Amino acid sequence: MIWILGLLVVICIALLIVRGIKGPTHSLETLEMPIRDLLKRGYDGGFLIIDVSRSKYFIQLRKYINEPGLYGIELCFPNAKWSAKYFDELIDFCIKEGINYIITKENTNGPLEFLYIDFEKDVHKAHRYIKKIFIELLGVNENVRLFARLESATIEDKLIDK
């Protein structure tokens, strides 16, 4: 009987660890907060990964700092196996919405193409377009549960701009 209780405790701990790795839970409406955290607290190259619960879909934002005070956030969308279908659709979406974008094959991970959308310091614009991409492009439900994981950022509530 004690070994069953021990097994349940181990399973619960494992589930908590797996859940914690994904980051805090958000809805499409509450995503502006982690985007704002990335812009404020992220170091140069820091990133925010937004995973769609129970799917292979995710969106990644990256913070850049070009020089002191000149920083922003950009969407980095890969042309990978899982996203190839959406890559051209995202280009069409950008054209339709009047969003400037860049496609590059230059990266440190090999010859994978990426589409970059620079939102500069406009958190509200980034949030608005990410919601549209999730709903209109990836076809997720408006009530979807999302996991937001911020990497390479300070835990302090201070602006990192250099």
Report domain extents, the chain.
Answer: 25-153
Report the Cα 106 to chain-centroid distance in Å.
20
Q: Give pLDDT, residue 133.
A: 93
Q: What is the number of other CB atoms lying within 10 angstroms of the CB of residue 106?
A: 7
pLDDT in tens, the chain (162 residues): 676 655 555 555 544 444 444 467 889 999 999 999 999 999 999 999 999 988 888 899 999 999 999 999 999 998 888 888 899 999 999 999 999 999 987 656 566 888 999 999 999 999 999 999 999 999 999 999 999 999 999 999 999 999
Give this prediction's pTM.
0.82
DSSP letters for 33-62: HHHHHHHHHEEEEEEEEEEETTSS-EEEEE
> Both tokens of residue 121?
């310091």
